[in-house]
Amino acid sequence: MAFNSLDHILGALAAQTLGQKQREYQQLVESWAIAVGPKINQHTRPLAVERGVLRVATSSAAWAQNLMFERRRILQRLNVGRSEAIADIRFSPKDWSKSDVKCPDLAEQEILWQDHPSRLAELSADAGTPKGYEVENAQGTFDRWAQGVQARSQGLPLCPHCGCPTPPGELDRWAVCALCAAKQWSG
C-alpha cells in the first residue's frame, strides 16, 4: 500500500471538485437555454453560481429589468432535476460586453417591442392635443403630456388590484399591472 503526501491528496480532491463544478456549470448553461427559450437565451448568458445565486449577463438594462419579473418562473424551471437548487438569480448588463454574444440590432429591438406586454397601439403624434395649441412654457408642456396620457389610457382595462388603466398584455401575463406585479414579487 502506497502512502501519498497530504498535498498530493488535497490536490487530487481539488481537481476532482473543480471538474465536478465545471460539469455542473455546463449542465446549468444547457438547462438555462431550455428554461428560458431561444428568444431570451439570445440576450442572456449565465456567468456563475455564487452561494446559490446565479449571476446572468444581459444584453441591456431593459432585459435585466424584464427578466427580474420572470425570475421565479425561471428558477422553477432551472431547479427541476438539480441536486443543488439555485436560490435566486441576479441579472445585470455589466458583464455582457465581456462575452462573445452580440447585442441585438435596432430592427430586432423593434420586433421585441412589438411583443412586449406593456405596449399599446401607436397613437398619432397630435392625439389629444387641440389644434393651434402651442407649447410656450413648462406648464404647457406638462398639460400636453397629461392630455396624451389621458387619451392613451381611455378605454384600457383597469388593474384589479390598484384600479389604474393597464395595457391588456400586462393583465394577460400577470393578471395585474406591472407595478402591482413588481410589488407582489418583491414582497
Burial label, 13 (beta-carbon count in 10 A; 0-12, 13-18, 19+): exposed
Nearest Cα residue to 167 out of 112, 118, 114: 118
Q: In this predicted model, what pLDDT tens digit does every residue of 92-115 receive, in sequence order?
A: 998 887 655 454 555 666 666 677
Query: What is the strand order of the sheet 88-92 is part of?
Result: 44-50, 53-58, 88-92
Beta bridge partners of 89: 54
User: Domains of the chain, with CATH numbers?
Assistant: 12-116 (3.30.300)
- The chain-wide mean pLDDT, for the chain, equals 78
Share of the chain above pLDDT 90, in %: 17
Q: What is the pLDDT of residues 38-77, one digit of tens each?
A: 888 889 998 888 888 889 999 999 999 999 998 899 999 8
* Most confident region among 33-37, 87-91, 121-125 by mean pLDDT: 87-91
pTM as predicted: 0.45
Work out whether the CA dihedral 133, 146, 65, 169 comes out positive or negative: negative
48 vs 55: CA distance, rounded Å: 5
Pairing of strands 44-50, 88-92: unpaired
Exposure of 101 in the CB half-sphere (CA atoms within 13 A): 19
Q: Is 83 exposed, middle or buried (0-12, 13-18, 19+ CB in 10 A)?
A: exposed
pLDDT in the model for residue 125? 47
